[in-house]
Structure 1
Amino acid sequence: MQAPLSERRVFITDTSVIFAAVQNLLKVSRAKSVEIIQNDEARKAVCKLTNDYVNFCKECCLYASQNISRTEPLQFDPGHYRCLWTSFSLFAVLYTPEPGFDDAPVGDDLMEWLNTHYVQPSTQEGDELSSQERPWEDPAFWPYLIRTSLRGLSKASAFFLNVLSRHPSTYLQSLSQQLSPLLTNHPRLPQFSAEKDFAIASRRWKDKVKTLRLELDRVPEGERDDGYENWWDRFSDIVGILEGQEEVIKRVCTELGADWKEVCCVWGIFVDTRLRRHDLPDIVAQVLDEMPPDPTDREDMVHSALFLGRPTQALAEAAQLDMWLAAHLADLMEPVELIDSEPDDSELSLRQHYILAYAEYLRTDPSLWRITVDYMYSCGEVGRGMADQVLMRVPLHLEAPKDADAAGEEAARIRAGHLAGVLKDVNETCFEYQREEIRRMVCRIAAQSFIREKEYGLAISYCTSAEDWAGLGRVVDLVLEEYIAQGKSEPARAETQVTSADRVIYPLSQALNDTGTKIPAPGVFLHRLMFAVRFAEFHQRRASGDGQGAAFDVVTMFREDIAPKSWWAVLLCDALELLQNGGPMPFTSNDACLLIQKLEEIHIAVGQGAADDYLPILRRVTKRGEKHALQRLEVVRLALARYYARCGAIGVGGRPSGWNY
């Protein structure tokens, strides 16, 4: 199954808007407990949406017919879109009339459909005949006049009947003058406000036709041929059509190369002017016995099934012509109760079967995922399960572009932490269809993509959105691992990313607690997150020269017990340059005392054999053993002692009570 190309993709996308409108109509009707078939307003809406499909098929057919240069060849030729147009418009005529016209005679609607889609005779034929001095000598003259009479093309018929005023036969001259007003004044239902008036006018018109027949029969046998044609036989065929003679109509249509459709449409104009839609299948069945449809012509098979009132068969034939046609016909057939809405053994209704088959076709083009899931989500539990799988497999395109200049505005917004592009669309779709679990799954997938790119700030954001607390903990660990892996270099790239995102991350985490959201082991995950954010912020401030802010972060991490004990030694070593700074003193004497207390706790614990609890991170950062780590801490001890001494000398802070160091 070939993926849709350009013109087909436009066709699919634009008609999906109509499909969405149909689903919205059904949703509103269900909410109001309204049966479409029993509500005039709802039926009028269905009629309007059906005609929207018809009009768009027409527009696509006309576009495909244009002789213009194209960037790529058409995937489907104009003839294919014409088949969709003819089939959908026939469905509209037969099954979705305006409310109040369900039981109205259908002949005029069918003739309009026939003349719109199967134009005969051609304009070129008329032009050629009208240019001749004696057109009745042309073999095409009478077939042309008979065809215009069949099709109700009264202006063309009247023109050539007027031409016969120059015919050598005075009998034909007289008869043509009588026939012309009968054709131009043929009563048609749309001309009347009441069917009763139409019926009365039709009877009077039929009486005039009988009079014409009597006049025709009086023509002597020897005057019925003009040397080119037996004009009497041809004229008699036209009168026979007006009389509604079934056999004449069938024979004439066969001679003209017309098929069963023309006979059926003419039937409601001349044979039975009060033919109803529900009576049509019986008439069509009779005609098809003598003039069967072409089994090799899929369009003809769709039309015959629709004429016969067999919607299920019409859908089967339509699926062979184009799955789009079957899906959208089925979508309209179910609410107007043409097909059963109950599921079969596969747990799918007939409508759902064709909709999902069409959606599977759409999956050949991954870029159409949004439309694909719209169709799937309209198909019950089975469809929802299929749509969920599609959403979880939508390419999110979150990888950073290799060429920075190639990154568009959309990619820039994503990497700035905003929902945009495909990821935004997926989230909106999940929200629209209330697929919260799928939304969380997609956020987890996005988080994994950001983790692979070491975009830890974004990874934390999406883990939080997915409420993936275990994943959040893993990201925090990875953030801290970045620091460990880079040792005592400038602040790690991962940390600055976390810092740039912490105004989103930390408030969101806090909000989850404030609203009472149950987070598994919140003390574990939120504590680690708070430390990672504060630690990253400390390094950012230290690197930017904000010694006061960096010092505040260090003290806060110790005082509020944010920092894990395994990181105490690292924090003290990282604070060394703040202690040795010859400029403004960022720590108060109380702050310095706190740092000294923590340092002493480390030394005491290590002396008691707890080095693995207090020094593992520092050992990894320095990439040396315990001895070197302790030497680093001795440097910190000396710096703290000098700093505290400076505090006492210049009166910074105050000496805490009970201080015996």
Structure 2
Amino acid sequence: MSAQQSTGTVYLAPPLFEQGAAEEFQKSGRTVSFAASGRDQTLAIYAAPNADPQIRRSQAPPPEEQQVYLASCQRPPSSERRVFVTDTSIIFAALQNLLKKARGKNVNILQSEDDMQVVTKLANDYINFCKECCMYASQNISRTEPLQLDAEHYRRLYTCFSLFGVLYMPEPGLENVPIGDDLMEWLNTHFIEPSTQEGDELSSQERPWEDPAFWPYLIRTSLRGLSKASAFFLDVLSKHPSPYLQSLAQQLTPLLTNQPRLRHFSAERDFAVASRRWKDKVKTLRLELDRVPESEREDDFENWWDRFSDIVGIVEGRGDVIKKVCAELGADWKEVCAVWGIFVDTRLRREDLPDVVAQVLDEMPPDPTDLEDMIHSSLFLGKPRQALSEAAQLDTWLAAHLADLMEPIELIDAEPDDSELSLRQHYVLEYAHYLHSDPALWRITVDYMYSCGLIGAEMADQVLMRVPLHLQTSRNAAASAEEAARIRDGQLAGVLKLVNETCYEYQREEIRRMVCRIAAQTFIQEGEYGLAVSYCTSAEDWPGLGRVIDLVLEEYIAQGPANFASLVAKIAPSLHNIRTDAATKLRAPAVFLHRLQFAVRFAEFHHRRAHADGQSAAIDVVAMFREEIAPRSWWAVLLCDAVELLQCNDAMFFSSSDACLLIQKLEEIHLRVAQGSGDDYLTVLSRVVKGGEKHALQRLQTVRLSLARYYARCGAIGVGGRPTGWYH
């Protein structure tokens, strides 16, 4: 079953019931219910029995088969979008590291030129990634997967982020220089007018001024500061039939091509002097233009004088002319504001820009249906909070990363509101919520969440505890055991290890232990007891460790000593690690360590016994009793398993004192059983022999007989294989 979400509505396909059949569906005793997944943001939607018992009694029982639909509150990133969010997360992480170091040194980012230079560089990295993704999405190439978001979407991100960079993230030392050149460069980069095609068509004509597009094209190039294109077509006017226009065009060309620009001067004072001289030349041109007789101001096509006067009005810096011309050309408020800093107020600074923009917007308001235009206007007006609100509607990625940059440069308040979240944290967590829709992006998701204080950390903890670890061995019958193990080992190294590293990085020890417990449970299910012991120990889950040992010992009871010995061989390295780790030994209760030691030593005993190493096997038996490693419930089993060594006619593996020790343990068992403690001593042996206490005691009679004979042989020979006191 499938479900699609659109504008807040989830559509089920096929539908649970047809249109108009809601009443019939309700009468069937069912209602629509859902369950949320903790792994990601998917919803399982299904028809469930009505919660009202009165309705359930009166209606027919629901059908046995139920359709389950899977829907998502967010559309998970795919295709180019996943690459985009992954690559930009690297920039985000770099900024967090910088801010963390600055906080550690108690340094204000705004007061550190070196730090601000890095922040500006990172902001430019965001801008470049938006540009690259826009270019990639624009390519007309065959793709294995369709684009999730088109080139137009990334173009909008590109324009908005780059405008933020222009207005709020200038290079250190350039914060107070006039902004006109930067605004015009931004406008010409993102909103190209006039088009190259228009210029090519006009330049191919012998008398281009006869084309209705000629003067609008020339005015637009003059507005945009495209001096080369303007100079070319002003030169074309040397062939115009009006000698007045020929002369005026010749005078205008150097004014447009040689207009003083701040970037060409090393000192702002020199720029101001050059601008005044240039303005004087513009006044002279206006006087020449006004002297043209009324009768000479038109050609056979239109009034060229009015058009030329508009261009002169632009270079004169007349705001009314600029607004009129922009309106006639179909330009918007952005173009007026950019032109304002080039021709009207050449010394316009960032802090003065909002006042100019507000005046322009009164006459040329932004398009309220265009989110991109609304974001631009909010940034121009110096309203970062409003810009973030609109950016979140365009793309939660944009709002999160703008807010992440705005807070350290103090454009927005870092203090939390009533929700206990700051504005930055709100937008970053909203973006992280979107990333959580794709479980494969869990590592990036928690990076964003952990940057958002206590609330974000708690959310990230929940994500980490639900990361799919993929520890189960492949169930594909066609896959070889070796291949299945290889796949499992690769996933173990890739996911579980990375989750642990993430917990260490963010100092989430409790979560790390919880994940280790979850992993240990999976390893138990897979029969990977060595790994289960390792992760129980890492989680300091001592009861869990005890359960693993019990399960391992159960393998002896169920499968016999051979399988048991092979199984426990995988636990031996974990025991060695525990023995060598002093801190672990201090934290671990002794009872669990002793049980683990017994399982390993007991397995070693059976391994040596199976490989005819009777001497070493005998040493293991005696050591388990002398060192009190063997639990009382296993004494009887251990004695029964040692009978084979006692009955060997070719060698004597126990000393007389060893035999005495075994006799003492056997007698203690009989004594305790006689006192009513049989459950403490014979339960395991009873299960091994698949009988009750009576059968267990019968088996111990064989042990008694073997020990008596062995001890008699020791007395006859006088040595018993080793001198008495060999252990001392």
The TM tier, using the shorter chain, reads over 0.9
For residue 154 of structure 1, what is the aligned residue in structure 2? 227
Separation (CA, whole Å) in 2 of partners of 1:171 and 1:275: 35
1:547 aligns with 2:614: yes
- Residue 231 of structure 1: CA displacement? 1.4
For residue 524 of structure 2, what is the aligned residue in structure 1? 451
Identical positions, percent: 73
- Residue 586 of structure 1: CA displacement? 4.2
For residues 561 and 237 of structure 1, do their structure 2 counterparts lie closer, same or farther at Cα, with a shift above 3 Å needed?
same
For residues 595 and 314 of structure 1, do their structure 2 counterparts lie closer, same or farther at Cα, with a shift above 3 Å needed?
same
- Residue 410 of structure 1: CA displacement? 5.7
Letter in 2 for 1:492: N
- Whether the 8 Å contact between 2:656 and 2:711 is mirrored in structure 1 is yes
For residue 500 of structure 1, what is the aligned residue in structure 2? 570
- Residue 172 of structure 1: CA displacement? 1.3
For residues 566 and 167 of structure 1, do their structure 2 counterparts lie closer, same or farther at Cα, with a shift above 3 Å needed?
same
Letter in 2 for 1:65: S
- Residue 490 of structure 1: CA displacement? 4.3
For residue 491 of structure 1, what is the aligned residue in structure 2? 562
Output one character per residue of 1:365-421: Cα deviation in whole Å (capped at 9) or x when no partner.
01111111111111111111111111111111111222454537462267xxxx621
- Whether the 8 Å contact between 2:227 and 2:257 is mirrored in structure 1 is yes
SS in structure 2 of the partner of residue 171 of structure 1: helix
Matches within 5 A, 1:138-537: 138-403=211-476, 404-405=479-480, 406-407=483-484, 409=486, 411-412=488-489, 420-486=493-559, 489-493=560-564, 496-503=566-573, 505-511=574-580, 514-515=582-583, 518-519=586-587, 522-537=589-604
For residues 568 and 516 of structure 1, do their structure 2 counterparts lie closer, same or farther at Cα, with a shift above 3 Å needed?
closer
SS in structure 2 of the partner of residue 17 of structure 1: helix
- Residue 31 of structure 1: CA displacement? 1.1
- Residue 178 of structure 1: CA displacement? 1.0
- Residue 473 of structure 1: CA displacement? 1.6
- Residue 516 of structure 1: CA displacement? 7.9
- Whether the 8 Å contact between 1:410 and 1:420 is mirrored in structure 2 is no
For residues 585 and 66 of structure 1, do their structure 2 counterparts lie closer, same or farther at Cα, with a shift above 3 Å needed?
farther
- Whether the 8 Å contact between 2:655 and 2:719 is mirrored in structure 1 is no
Output one character per residue of 1:130-150: Cα deviation in whole Å (capped at 9) or x when no partner.
111111111111111111111
Separation (CA, whole Å) in 2 of partners of 1:343 and 1:526: 48
- Residue 651 of structure 1: CA displacement? 5.2
Separation (CA, whole Å) in 2 of partners of 1:583 and 1:233: 125
Separation (CA, whole Å) in 2 of partners of 1:583 and 1:295: 100
- Residue 656 of structure 1: CA displacement? 4.4
For residues 579 and 228 of structure 1, do their structure 2 counterparts lie closer, same or farther at Cα, with a shift above 3 Å needed?
farther
- Residue 639 of structure 1: CA displacement? 3.4
- Whether the 8 Å contact between 1:268 and 1:274 is mirrored in structure 2 is yes
For residue 700 of structure 2, what is the aligned residue in structure 1? 633
Separation (CA, whole Å) in 2 of partners of 1:533 and 1:146: 90
Separation (CA, whole Å) in 2 of partners of 1:654 and 1:277: 96
- Higher mean displacement: 424-433 or 536-545: 536-545
Separation (CA, whole Å) in 1 of partners of 2:571 and 2:402: 50
For residue 614 of structure 1, what is the aligned residue in structure 2? 681
- Higher mean displacement: 274-283 or 561-570: 561-570
Letter in 2 for 1:621: V
- Higher mean displacement: 435-444 or 522-531: 522-531
For residue 94 of structure 2, what is the aligned residue in structure 1? 21
For residue 69 of structure 2, what is the aligned residue in structure 1? none
Separation (CA, whole Å) in 2 of partners of 1:567 and 1:390: 43
- Whether the 8 Å contact between 1:496 and 1:537 is mirrored in structure 2 is no
- Whether the 8 Å contact between 1:58 and 1:85 is mirrored in structure 2 is yes
Output one character per residue of 1:190-240: Cα deviation in whole Å (capped at 9) or x when no partner.
000001111111111111111111111111222222212221111111111
Where in structure 2 are there 5+ consecutive unaligned residues? 1-73
Paired residues, what number? 647
- Higher mean displacement: 397-406 or 586-595: 586-595
Letter in 2 for 1:502: A
Separation (CA, whole Å) in 2 of partners of 1:500 and 1:454: 11
Separation (CA, whole Å) in 2 of partners of 1:5 and 1:464: 39
For residues 555 and 173 of structure 1, do their structure 2 counterparts lie closer, same or farther at Cα, with a shift above 3 Å needed?
same
TM-score, scaled relative to structure 2: 0.86
- Residue 168 of structure 1: CA displacement? 1.5
Separation (CA, whole Å) in 2 of partners of 1:654 and 1:81: 85
- Residue 655 of structure 1: CA displacement? 6.7
Output one character per residue of 1:499-541: Cα deviation in whole Å (capped at 9) or x when no partner.
22322x22333345x3486536x23222222112212222333
- Residue 636 of structure 1: CA displacement? 2.7
Hey, which of these two has a bigger chunk of strand by percent?
A: 2
- Residue 352 of structure 1: CA displacement? 0.5
- Residue 641 of structure 1: CA displacement? 4.2
Letter in 1 for 2:673: V
- Residue 48 of structure 1: CA displacement? 0.9
- Residue 573 of structure 1: CA displacement? 1.7
Separation (CA, whole Å) in 2 of partners of 1:454 and 1:302: 58
Hey, which of these two has a bigger chunk of helix by percent?
A: 1
Q: CA RMSD in A?
A: 2.0
Separation (CA, whole Å) in 1 of partners of 2:524 and 2:302: 89
- Higher mean displacement: 275-284 or 152-161: 152-161
Letter in 2 for 1:241: I
- Higher mean displacement: 154-163 or 576-585: 576-585
For residues 49 and 137 of structure 1, do their structure 2 counterparts lie closer, same or farther at Cα, with a shift above 3 Å needed?
same
Letter in 2 for 1:395: P
- Residue 176 of structure 1: CA displacement? 1.1
Where in structure 1 are there 5+ consecutive unaligned residues? none
- Whether the 8 Å contact between 1:590 and 1:654 is mirrored in structure 2 is no
For residues 111 and 543 of structure 1, do their structure 2 counterparts lie closer, same or farther at Cα, with a shift above 3 Å needed?
farther
- Residue 589 of structure 1: CA displacement? 4.3
Letter in 2 for 1:535: F
For residues 546 and 117 of structure 1, do their structure 2 counterparts lie closer, same or farther at Cα, with a shift above 3 Å needed?
farther
Separation (CA, whole Å) in 2 of partners of 1:285 and 1:390: 45
SS in structure 2 of the partner of residue 615 of structure 1: helix
> After the TM superposition, which parts of structure 1 deviate over 6 Å for at least 4 consecutive aligned residues?
none
Matches within 5 A, 1:110-125: 110-125=183-198
- Higher mean displacement: 41-50 or 9-18: 41-50
- Whether the 8 Å contact between 1:410 and 1:421 is mirrored in structure 2 is no
Output one character per residue of 1:293-329: Cα deviation in whole Å (capped at 9) or x when no partner.
0000000000000000000000000000000000000
Separation (CA, whole Å) in 2 of partners of 1:300 and 1:544: 82
- Whether the 8 Å contact between 2:429 and 2:452 is mirrored in structure 1 is yes
- Whether the 8 Å contact between 2:385 and 2:412 is mirrored in structure 1 is yes
Separation (CA, whole Å) in 1 of partners of 2:626 and 2:514: 38
For residues 154 and 586 of structure 1, do their structure 2 counterparts lie closer, same or farther at Cα, with a shift above 3 Å needed?
farther
- Higher mean displacement: 532-541 or 461-470: 532-541
Letter in 1 for 2:623: T
Output one character per residue of 1:444-469: Cα deviation in whole Å (capped at 9) or x when no partner.
11111112223222111111101111
Separation (CA, whole Å) in 1 of partners of 2:653 and 2:487: 42
SS in structure 2 of the partner of residue 492 of structure 1: helix
